[in-house]
Amino acid sequence: MRMRQFGTTPLKVSTVGLGCNNFGLRMGVDAAQPVIHRALDLGITFFDTADVYGRRGGSETALGKYLGARRKDIVIASKFGSPMDDAGAMQGASRRYMMSAVEASLKRLNTDWIDIYQLHRFDVTTPREETLRAFDDLIRQGKIRYAGISSVAAWRLADLQWTARQLGSKPLTTCEVEYSLLVRDPERELIPAMQKHGAVLLPYYPLASGFLTGKYQRNTPTPGGARITRDARYQEMFMTDANWTRLENLTAFCQQRGHTLLELAFSWLAAQPIVACVIAGATRPEQLEANVKAADWALTAPDLKEIDRLTQRA
């Protein structure tokens, strides 16, 4: 497994990480054991989770149960802020809620610290100064190492980073956003803001919910049990005419070079300097093995230029 520097931090993480959103949801807590242990065997050292994953707590509970003594060898990124109860009382980014949310996550994860603690959604009801100071206190207390945010607009990130510096607080280290060969919107504003203000990108939906795995062909039935098959929302998001054309062009690009579409999806993200780690979910150990191998294609500058043209981002 190749390792890479995690932004400007002293952390080094595996190029491929494990997204743990399926733990406790599509698969039970105990069913996650073989996936977690195989990830460790393969050298995966970055695990991405959230308090709401796995029916509110299941994902963190699985990691806490099955990482064991290997916890010290890995980097855990978790998120908070999304509703953890039906009444809507347990959510947001107020200092009071952050302090209780982190304690609950630490308990489920069976650990003394969280490496990357990210706000899941920007909270417009809480002053940003309050959130940033709370992050700072958690860092000083040793309960988290670095702070970040998910699904944020470029102007909000710039504002948060500027405010942190004005307060003398630690700036945010990460942004977790949707980014893939088919979703390159962050390149317009967010990635330039991240580069200017010192944050790295964690991409979710790196395979466009499975659309970039090579299993899909235009005008043919979708694979049974697949996420896109199960949920019409994902069909609307990804199965557009434009994306079908991109998919066919990218598939031909791969075939000409003796590689697969899965390898391209992972290796293209790994080639982006702003990407800290390529994270993808898995429900079976063999999926992990394929993901790890897929990131080994060393794309050349001409390759990247051609990919830009094929995805209409030249």
Q: Is 314 a residue whose pLDDT tops 50?
A: no
The CATH number assigned to the domain holding 144 equals 3.20.20.100
Sign of the C-alpha dihedral computed for residues 282, 288, 291 and 295 taken in this order:
positive
Question: 199 in a domain, yes or no?
Answer: yes
**Mean pLDDT, the chain, as a whole number?**
94
For the residues 193-204, what does the mean pLDDT come to?
96
Any idea of the CA torsion for 291, 229, 78, 296, to the nearest 10 degrees?
Answer: 10
For the residues 33-46, what does the mean pLDDT come to?
97
Domain containing 119 equals 3-222+261-298
DSSP 224-262: TT-HHHH-HHHHHHH--HHHHHHHHHHHHHHHHTT--HH
Determine how many CB atoms are found less than 10 A away from the CB of residue 123. Answer: 18
The per-residue pLDDT for 219 is: 83
Question: 132 in a domain, yes or no?
Answer: yes
Q: How far is CA 268 from CA 14, 89, 206, 263, in A?
A: 16, 41, 10, 8
Catalytic residues: 53
Q: How far apart are CA 156 and CA 43, in angstroms?
A: 35
β partners of residue 200: 174
Domain count along the chain: 1
> pTM for the whole thing?
0.93
pLDDT in tens, 74-114: 999 999 999 999 998 899 999 999 999 999 999 999 999 99
Question: 201 in a domain, yes or no?
Answer: yes
Q: Are 148 and 178 in contact (CB under 8 A)?
A: no
Question: 307 in a domain, yes or no?
Answer: no
The per-residue pLDDT for 255 is: 97
Q: Which residue has the higher pLDDT, 216 or 160?
A: 160
pLDDT in tens, 133-154: 999 999 999 999 999 999 999 9
Radius of gyration of the chain (CA): 19
3-state class (DSSP) for residue 121: coil
Question: 97 in a domain, yes or no?
Answer: yes
Task: Name the nearest CA neighbour of 53 among 102, 103, 19.
Answer: 19
3-state class (DSSP) for residue 173: coil
Question: 289 in a domain, yes or no?
Answer: yes
Q: What angle do CA 63, 60, 27 make, to 5 degrees?
A: 80
Question: 305 in a domain, yes or no?
Answer: no
Question: 94 in a domain, yes or no?
Answer: yes
